[in-house]
Amino acid sequence: MSSETAERLDREQKGQLVYRQSIWTRVTHWVWAICLFFLLLSGLQIFNAHPSLYIGQESGFEYNNAVLRMGRVLTDEGSRGHTVIFGQTFDTTGIFGVSGPPDNPQYVAIPSALTIPSFRDLATGRVVHFFFGWIFVAALFVWFLASLINGHLRRDILPSAADFRGLPADIADHARFRFQRHRFYKPLQKLSYFVVFVILFPLIILTGLTMSPGMDSAWPWLLDVFGGRQTARTIHFGAMLLLVLFFIVHVVMVLLAGPFNEMRSMITGWYRVGPQTHSQEADRS
């Protein structure tokens, strides 16, 4: 057997390397990862200044329109963490409201280990949040423009009718931990990225702008679209929770699908597909 034949058989068994991620996708991916880390922790610092969320045009004083409240209450046993979600009360001592060692407890909604800065400093938290927020917006604009030009948006993000037809089978494969290495995104992956890039990212940006008095004066229609500044704040918080959930699932999927191959794809752009996959999908490129 010649060396060329042996090399070809080896590639067929392992699968071929294909150029899967463009430089624009890779750079914006890592920029978003950094930005979301700082946005999350600085956002929790801002949330600690008033750890309640409301639905409506304003926060209630003579009435209760809160959907979430975090804080502490004094009981016979001392201070206890107190979280109210849609009227249901939970003791969250040790996690939210009251945390830290008994001899030096923290009386804040979110523990200092999860905020930037770690001490209570609303001004610094806002500076960090806005700085990375605008970098996040710029990266999204660059990604959208590049993805529109190179076809990544059409090919890998926008789901087609065929993707919806193949979604049940793809969900079943994921439930059985069957991860096939394809050059192009499978239905569940495309739908997930569509929700993140087309819905959650724009939503969290627009609700963030709605909370800015300066933007409200320039674009007053934002208040009408999101039902007021307080509702926008609640939606902003909810979108953040969904992005955190997506990040956790994303990391788990990377570990299960083969971390070396997945990381190589997002660093170098090259991805090793499964045997015979390259030839089967060549006509889609």
Same domain, yes or no: 63 and 145: no
Between CA 64 and CA 52 the distance in angstroms is 11
Between CA 259 and CA 115 the distance in angstroms is 29
Between CA 222 and CA 18 the distance in angstroms is 43
Chain Cα centroid distance, residue 155: 21
The region, left, alpha or beta by phi > 0 then psi within -120 to 50, assigned to residue 91 is: beta
pLDDT tens by residue, 127-154? 999 999 999 999 999 999 999 999 999 9
Model-level pTM?
0.84
Same domain, yes or no: 172 and 245: yes
Enclosing domain of residue 22: 14-41+122-284
Among 110, 135, 113, residue whose Cα is nearest residue 46? 110
The most distant pair of C-alpha atoms in the chain lies apart, rounded to whole Å, by 86
Q: CA-CA distances (angstroms) from residue 39 to 35, 177, 284?
A: 6, 32, 37
Instruction: State both tokens at 38.
Output: 């700082």
pLDDT tens by residue, 198-253? 999 999 999 999 988 888 788 888 888 888 889 999 999 999 999 999 999 999 98
Q: Examine residue 6 and state whether it is found in any structural domain, yes or no.
A: no
Q: Examine residue 5 and state whether it is found in any structural domain, yes or no.
A: no
What is the sign of the dihedral through the CA atoms of 234, 231, 125 and 133? positive
Between CA 147 and CA 234 the distance in angstroms is 31
Same domain, yes or no: 63 and 32: no
Q: Reply yes or no on whether the pLDDT at 280 is more than 60.
A: no
Q: What is the mean pLDDT of residues 63-73?
A: 84
User: Cβ(24)–Cβ(142) under 8 Å?
Assistant: yes
Same domain, yes or no: 198 and 98: no
Same domain, yes or no: 275 and 200: yes
Instruction: State both tokens at 130.
Output: 């806005």
